Structure 1
Amino acid sequence: MANYRLEEKDSFTVLGIGIELKSDYTDYAGINKEKADFWQAINQDGTLDKLTSIATNDYIFIVNEAVNNKMMHYAGVMTEESLPEATRLIQFPKGEYIVVEGEADSDEELSNKLTGIAFGEVLTVVTDVAYVGGPNAAVVMGQKDGSVYGEMWIPVVRN
């Protein structure tokens, strides 16, 4: 099984720019294409650069959240500022989080890899905690030796 840890985190807020994912939640290819198109667009039009320019740290949050029965996907940062393009202040709760570490060749690949490990492996076998919803995020923390590294943060509750 994949390596993971449980970690206590204080509540925090991420300023996000996002889209509603229209594909059925079981259509992984469709969801991944929508996410890839979104990231390509915000990289090309400078939106991601604007967002990261106001961040309080170097982390980029790749957030998935259900809002009003819609699947939402965001690029986000921790910041005290705002931008007109911002679509949501995403509140992450204080409490325990499953944390999965990894590295990949790109932000998108890292997000997909960590999401797959966390939801496809870790959450299917842990029995002492459960994910009951709320935002989850792949957190791109930096680069080293040509790879991108980061963590998946999923809020959980004790069973």
Structure 2
Amino acid sequence: MSNFRVEKKEGFRLLGFKTVLEGGNVHSPQYTNQKTEFFKGVLQNGQMALLRPLAETSYGYAAVALEQGSVFYYAGVQTSQPAPDQTGEVLFPDSDYLVLTGNGGLSRLAFDKLEDQAFHEILTNEYEWEYTGAPVAEILLNGNPSDAQVEVWVPVKKRN
């Protein structure tokens, strides 16, 4: 059974806190520790608790987005509510997405494994779909980062 599919998704907005990632393009193994430390920080300092009341789903969201030549990582919630001070937003377009699913283990490791699969095994020159350059979503489905159920959504388009 395959752990990925291409699926049409409606656009949505992620509201969250962000940090710049150093050392690569939209997907890089160098990001693992940076993402982990940033996410831990926004949990421990109470920033995520400020966003939870605005959440329109029970899922945990993160995003990797290219902005003005830099790569940013966002930790936040899906919402259409007004943005509190010092938060940023990522707009995910109506699009086809390569949706990868994983279960078990630490969420960060699961996300990294799925992103490696997407960018190194699936989205090759031989595959009929290619990455569009839009933000990539990391979604914690079960709220348990120690024994995670996760999805990664990579926006794709048909290859010419």
TM-score when scaled to structure 1?
Answer: 0.86
Q: CA offsets, 1:42-69, max 9 Å, x none? A: 1211112222232011111121011000
Q: Please show how residues 1-159 of structure 1 align to structure 2 within 5 Å.
A: 3-25=3-25, 28=28, 30-81=30-81, 82-86=83-87, 88-124=88-124, 127-143=127-143, 147-159=147-159
Question: What 5-or-longer segments of structure 1 have no aligned partner?
Answer: none
Q: 1:143: how far off? A: 4.9
Q: Bigger CA drift: 33-42 or 94-103? A: 33-42
Q: 1:107: how far off? A: 2.8
RMSD: 2.4
Q: 1:33: how far off? A: 2.0
Matches of 1:56 and 1:127 in 2, distance apart? 34
Conservation of the 8 A alpha-carbon contact between 2:26 and 2:65: no
AA of the residue aligned to 1:92:
F
Q: Pick closer, same or farther for the CA change 1:90–1:28 going to 2, 3 Å.
A: closer
Conservation of the 8 A alpha-carbon contact between 2:27 and 2:115: no
Q: CA offsets, 1:46-93, max 9 Å, x none? A: 11222223201111112101100001011121112222231x221111
Q: 1:131: how far off? A: 0.3
Matches of 1:27 and 1:89 in 2, distance apart? 20
How many residues are matched? 157
Q: 1:119: how far off? A: 1.6
Q: Bigger CA drift: 127-136 or 17-26? A: 17-26
Question: What 5-or-longer segments of structure 2 have no aligned partner?
Answer: none
Q: 1:124: how far off? A: 2.5
TM-score when scaled to structure 2?
Answer: 0.85
